[in-house]
Amino acid sequence: MAKIKVDAGLLERLTRVAQAAGYSSVEEFVTHIIEKELARVENDADDRAAAERLRGLGYIE
Amino acid sequence: MMAKNLSRRDVLKQSAAVAAACAAGLGTSTGCREKPRRSATGEVQRVIVIGVDGMDPRLSLAMMNAGELPHLDRLRKRGGFRPLRTSIPPQSPVAWASFINGAGPGSHGIFDFIHRHPEGQCMPFFSAAETLPAQGAWDIGEHRVQLPIWPINHKPPGTVLRRQGVPFWAYLDERGIPSTFYDLPCDYPATPCQHGHHHRCLSGMGTPDMLGSYGTYQYFAEDGPAETSDEAGGKRSRLSFERETAKARLIGPENTSLKVPQPTRIELLIHRDRRANAAVIELHDRKVLLRAGQWSPWIKLDFRMSAPLDLPDGRVSGICRFLLQEVTPNFRLYVSPINIDPSHPAVRISEPAEFVQEISSELGLFATTGFQEDHKALSNGIFSEEQFIAQAQGVLEERLRLLDYAMAHYDDGVLFFYFSSTDLQAHMLWWDSDKKHPTKSAAQVQSGFGHVRRLYQKLDAVVGEIIARYDGRATVIVMSDHGFANFGRQFNLNSWLRDQGYLGPRDCTTIMADVDWTQTRAYGLGINGLYVNLRERERDGIVDPGQKEALLAELVTGLEAVRDHDGSRVIRRVYRADQIYSGDATALAPDLIVGYSRGYRASWATCLGGLTGPVLMDNDSAWSADHCADAGEVPGVLFSNRPLDAQSPSLVDVAPSILAEFGLPVPSSMEGKSMFG
């Protein structure tokens, strides 16, 4: 499994929020927010691709 | 097996012989599927519907009065002609869905070419068919594998038909009445047969090409861009010759089984002979020889899709045509959109799935995309107008061969056949007034519009042949979904909303990127739609539901008051969706539908949320005619060989009329009623 470095200040914030939100560990919390952000970016990419396909319709530039 | 070189009249005569033989209980080599359906009085019941997209009643009347449409005029003189009220808005997916359901957009849920999911704010998708991404996968090396089996239940990507409600053929199917549809718009993926095998359909408008788009050509030229560049409807690449040979790559469908999907490619080797003014294109094991100006036949393309582990690579087939536009001084090669191969379709484009292959086994290869005339190539300057007309003529000729097939295989029940020519050619060539065309000379206008008139005459002749064969033996309906008008001036709805303070910030260029939703109470998306940025509906909505009513009233008043620089009224009428649509399928309806005056339409930029400095501008595109105006400005046509009782029939009346011809009651799901006495 890959490792990511974060600075101490960010780690402290992650730990605090993970505990308050009820995550079993900081790792679980970080994994969850990365997955959410990835899904958002991938959905945005799908949406942009859908818009580009629509440009092939003659009615639209 | 029908010989391919029979004339249409020969085919129709042969069909008559087959029908007579069937009626006499004799077998024939062309075969009868079952005994023709007979009414209580013993008559075979047939309804033939010819859909002529965009055929216009004003032009039809003028030509009939001038004696130029004798067959349609004969129907008119028998009481079988009316303008046909179209849908709001008069866009083809909306209109044809209304024809299919016998009811308006509130029943089928299609309100424009473009919809959005409110939870995605304004992100657009094609209204009639939505491609959904895959859900779940296992990563194996470079590949991502979906296992759509229990208990894993991954979902591969797929396209879903978004037209809702009950299509009229379901009621026929229930009674065992056969119906066959060729190139039916707004039925991709094709609706499955519910009650048996009495329904067949070849999907039309909405069917994608192999790239998943609505038609992407590929253009290779010596003066092309160094890196392949994308433009609306196409791709441009440079060809560099070394000792009269150049390499090129055709871009094919994406291999979605890769973790990072990559397009497949096919290598081309192009050998130029300047003296002969010709070239040879090598691909796969084939060599295609073309002279300058020559089209190739349909060519099969074999795309390899790599698979994980030791599984064999997948293969999908597409087809394309090449046009060698120029050999010297600037070598130019056009490649048509890569169509789904009808002999080996990569996705299902007919119901039943094998129907398209049955057709192909007799006709060979033919275009399968929903939009076959390559107007984008003309708009982008790849085609000259003559080349566009030639390509569009090829589409029509292919359709006429399909019509021959349809007639030869028609016994009874409903036959629907669709022509796109009068729509897609009119978009590029129609200009019917003395008003100056934004870009063309008077001579060019006359030449283009003359071509449209000749097209009407050609289709009149086709109708004449059908009437000659089936008059007295079938009810024949010729209909269009809407009419046509010049598109000389374009209105940017989003820019108007910005200027009136409904959309911000002032320097917003597109609602897809740099809009501030906290400053935006309304936005435009699609060709005729306006959406209130409503809280609790839109993801970033700010308008309180209690304020919606007042806002709508304000917008309607403001839009209907818009005037052009010469005082012309830009917008004939603005409709509230909650006042004109009824049914269970209104969830995605815009709040307002803008009905433009004749000569006006939504601007190119505003349809996908773009803003421009000016609100009103000339339309300087080659696409200089349109029908996405107010419904009252662009009715369609309705002709029949039976007198029409209805004085002002509508699109939604056609399906009930068809059911009534077979003695079926009009179901409560339909809004229309029979047009015949």
At B67-95, the pLDDT tens digits run: 999 999 999 999 999 999 999 999 999 99
User: What tokens were used for B178?
Assistant: 């056969």
What pLDDT, on the 0 to 100 scale, is given for residue B43? 58
Distance between CA atoms of residues B159 and B214, nearest Å: 14
Q: What is the pLDDT of residue B40?
A: 56
Contacts with A, B 478-537, CB within 8 Å: 512, 527
- Among partner residues A51, A56, A61, which is closest to B215 by beta-carbon distance? A56
What per-residue confidence (pLDDT) applies to B12?
Answer: 47
- Of B63 and A35, which is predicted with more confidence? B63
What percent of chain B has a predicted confidence (pLDDT) above 70?
92
In this prediction, residues B242-264 reach a mean pLDDT of 91
Per-residue pLDDT at B48: 98
| pLDDT tens string B661-672 | 999 999 999 999
Å from A39 to nearest chain B CA? 11
Percent of chain B residues topping a pLDDT of 90? 82
pLDDT for B22: 39
pLDDT of residue B152: 65
Name the more confident of B357 and A51: B357
In 3D, which of B417, B423, B425, B422 has the Cα closest to residue B477? B417
Q: What is the pLDDT of residue B38?
A: 59
Nearest CA to B478 out of B643, B672, B637, B656 is that of B637
Residue B183's pLDDT is: 98
Is A53 within 8 Å of B212 when comparing Cβ atoms? yes
ipTM value: 0.73
The chain B residue lying nearest A51, using CA atoms, is B124
B132-146, B271-285, B480-494, B650-664: segment of lowest average pLDDT: B132-146
Say if CB B106 and CB B593 are below 8 A apart: no
Residue B145: pLDDT band with limits 50, 70, 90: confident
Question: What residues contact A31, with CB distance under 8 A and at least 6 apart?
Answer: none
Write out chain B residues lying below 8 Å of A60, CB-based: 113-114, 232, 527, 604, 607-608
Residue B531 confidence class, pLDDT cut points 50, 70, 90: very high
Tell the burial category of B637 from Cβ atoms under 10 Å away from its Cβ (0-12, 13-18, 19+): buried
Least confident of B34-43, B142-151, B183-192, B668-677: B34-43
Of B22-36, B110-124, B336-350, the range with the lowest mean pLDDT is B22-36
Tell me chain B's radius of gyration from C-alpha atoms.
Answer: 26
The rounded distance, in Å, linking the Cα atoms of B99 and B589 is 18
End-to-end CA distance of chain B: 41
| Residues of chain A contacting residue B159, judged by C-beta atoms under 8 Å apart | none
Q: Is the pLDDT of residue B502 over 50?
A: yes
Task: Establish if B394 touches chain A: CB-CB under 8 angstroms.
Answer: no
Please indicate if any CB of chain A lies within 8 Å of the CB of B214: yes
Bridge partners of B180, per DSSP, are: B200, B415
Average model confidence (pLDDT) across chain B: 91
The H helix count followed by the E strand count for chain A is: 2, 0
pLDDT tens readout for residues B279-323: 999 999 899 999 999 999 999 999 998 877 777 778 899 999 999
* Per-residue pLDDT, B228: 94
| 3-state secondary structure at position B29 | coil
Q: Which residue has the higher pLDDT, B584 or B151?
A: B584
Strand partners, B52: B419
Q: CB contacts < 8 Å between A and B, how many?
A: 70
Nearest CB partner across the interface for B126, out of A42, A54, A61: A54
Rounded Cα distance between B471 and B464, Å, is 10
Contacts by B68-71, CB closer than 8 A, 24 or more apart: B68/B453, B68/B456, B68/B457, B68/B460, B69/B456, B69/B457, B69/B460, B70/B460, B70/B464, B71/B460, B71/B461, B71/B463, B71/B464, B71/B467
